Structure 1
Amino acid sequence: MTSSIHSPLGQPTLYADQYDAALLFPIARAPQRTELGIGTTLPFLGADLWTAFELSWLNLRGKPQVALAHITVPCESINIIESKSLKLYLGSFNNTRFPDAAEVLSRLRADLTEAAWRGGIVQSSVGVRLVAPEWFDREPIEELDGLSLDRLELDCDRYTPAPELLSAATEEAPVTEVLTSNLLRSNCPVTDQPDWGSVQISYFGPQIDQAGLLRYIISFRNHQGFHEHCVERMFMDIQSRCQPHKLSIYARYTRRGGLDINPFRTSYPQALPANRRNARQ
């Protein structure tokens, strides 16, 4: 477990042609959470929902097999898994023979769980679900539900996170709202490549000023941060500045290297959202 500067991101790569779990590169969540004032007791629940679109292996006769993989990494895990390392790890399945999809599923679950909890005690398994080709047509495309903030016409001039843009009507009766935006962009902290996303903010509490919230979302445009950390920063800023009684934030980022990452954080127990891609993914 090391910092992102030692990760495969931005480095020349040799692609393994045989299964190799050692390719997975975990990055500790703690340093970024410490910057946000998050201690060992998390102020939220949730998970990081991944979709792997480029999963393939060989059966025992050498015939290629393909599937999609839905991966659920619990937010309480010690580490995130660096995305390029996951791509390289999945690529190592390509020329490896497995008896069946059940064996592939078992390897994925065991290896990803080990990486997510490396350096600590495993508290919950990483979830993995494979989708076989005969079920591909049951993978829907859906946009995030809610009132679009993007309808607002406004001036913007802040492109690094600016929580001071957030405010709420704390003297008025609480409301329930679900707000969305497709204008989320942040940047990889290692390669500086842009990460494009959509975000859904659901809350019950003092009504949040929508113009300020949209400007706040746009203010991530030049921010360097992994997807998971960006969503946790949003959660902490909105919780602190707007004081909702209940808060959930769900971001869906466009895929890169055949992978998308979709963090979900919530202040109260509830079912995880369905991992359904939107049109840009």
Structure 2
Amino acid sequence: MNTPEQSQLGKASAYVDQYEPGLLYPIARAGKRAEIGVDGAPPFFGADLWTAFELSWLNPRGKPQVALAHITVPCETRNIVESKSFKLYLNSFNNTRFDDAEAVRARIRADVSEAVWRGSDTPPASVGVKLLLPDLFDREPVHELDGLLLDRLDLECTQYTPAPELLSATEGEAPVSEVLVSHLLKSNCLVTGQPDWGSVQIRYSGAQIDQAGLLRYLVSFRNHNEFHEQCVERIFMDIWTRCRPVKLAVYARYTRRGGLDINPLRTSHPQALPANVRTARQ
């Protein structure tokens, strides 16, 4: 079984510039999910929305081509892909000739699908891949997450490791539907301890969540070491079990590292995925 410590994280890496799918390094989701009380089928839906900003290959005549890639990994996949291995994999396209952009898209889709479902008997869904060529670059918008900004609250914060006991909801009053946003989410890489910065949107219906406690809870991730996908699932499960909303969606957009950003969505009910629109910090 692959572990984060066995990956290329924190290690000197040779940059392979000829196509090599074996660079992708899958890590099972199950271990971290067990830590947050998820055993078997999770109580959420969603996906991990990746954006690759550094994608290039050669056309049949050897001329370099560039594109952006939006990659959608369903959260029901058996594995995540460790992000440095994803970067190394994409770099392996740099001096490889492909017939056209569609051939590149199909290759990424097949390779990443194999990696995230590795160890499963019958994968129910493949990964989604969309390439944006340079003539579409100026159509890529920048937009902040919609919602009421929690960061407006003037409060004292003293806890910097996850503290779910800070979460609470008002009982006995009429239920509400709210969308709350914070730009103060920070966690660290599980292996290297390097900082990961993000914005998070919490959309829920049910008993009103105490906003001061929620903001302090989000800030409490500041010194926590965990991958992006795992942090969002932890946030979802803590709110789901502590505040018991009727509906809940947690969506985070993390700043890019190594030319990649990862933006996990976890929701209690099936819904359309948000458009993969970057924020100003991305």
TM-score by length of 1: 0.99
Match of residue 145 from structure 2: 144
Letter in 1 for 2:115: A
Q: Which residue number in structure 2 is paired with residue 64 of structure 1?
A: 64
Measured against aligned partners, the alpha-carbon deviations of 1:2-60 in whole angstroms (never above 9, x if no partner) come to 01010011111011010000000000000000111101111000000000000000000
The separation in 2 between residues aligned to 1:255 and 1:170, in whole angstroms, is 39
Residue matched to 1:75: 75
CA distance in 1, matches of 2:217, 2:85: 31
RMSD: 0.5
SS of corresponding position for 1:251: strand
* 1:77-117 superposed Cα distances (whole Å, 9 cap, x missing partner): 00000000000000000000001001001100000000000
Provide structure 1 residue ranges, at least 5 long, that are not aligned to the other structure. Answer: none
The aligned residue for residue 39 of structure 2 is 39
> Match for residue 272 of structure 1?
273
Structure 1 match to 2:204 = 203
Q: Does 1:164 align with 2:165?
A: yes
Shift of 1:201: 0.1
Out of 108-117 and 37-46, give the one that drifted further: 37-46
Deviation digits for residues 226-272 of structure 1 (CA, Å, limit 9, x no counterpart): 00000000000000110100000000000000000000000011100
Match of 1:111 in 2: 111
Letter in 2 for 1:140: P
5 Å matches for 1:176-195?
Answer: 176-195=177-196
CA distance in 1 between counterparts of 2:98 and 2:17 reads: 14
**Following the alignment from structure 2 to structure 1, what is the Cα–Cα distance between the partners of residues 3 and 27?**
6
Q: Indicate whether 1:133 and 2:134 are aligned.
A: yes
Partner SS for 2:199: strand
Q: How much does 1:170 deviate?
A: 1.8
Structure 2: give runs of 5+ residues left out of the alignment: none
Mapped to 2, the partners of 1:173 and 1:246 lie a distance apart of 15
Partner Cα distance (1:6, 1:116) in 2: 17
**Residue type matched to 1:193 in 2?**
Q
After TM superposition, what 4+ stretches of structure 1 lie above 3 angstroms from structure 2? none
Q: What whole-Å deviation, never above 9, does each CA across 1:193-252 have from its counterpart, x for those lacking one?
A: 000000000000000000000000000000000000000000000001101000000000
Counterpart in 2 of 1:91? 91
Secondary structure of 1:104 counterpart: helix
Whole-angstrom CA distance in 1 between matches of 2:61 and 2:102: 16
Overall identity of the aligned pairs, in %: 70
Aligned to 1:247: 248
In the alignment of these two chains, the number of paired residues is 281
Q: Which amino acid aligns with 1:10?
A: G
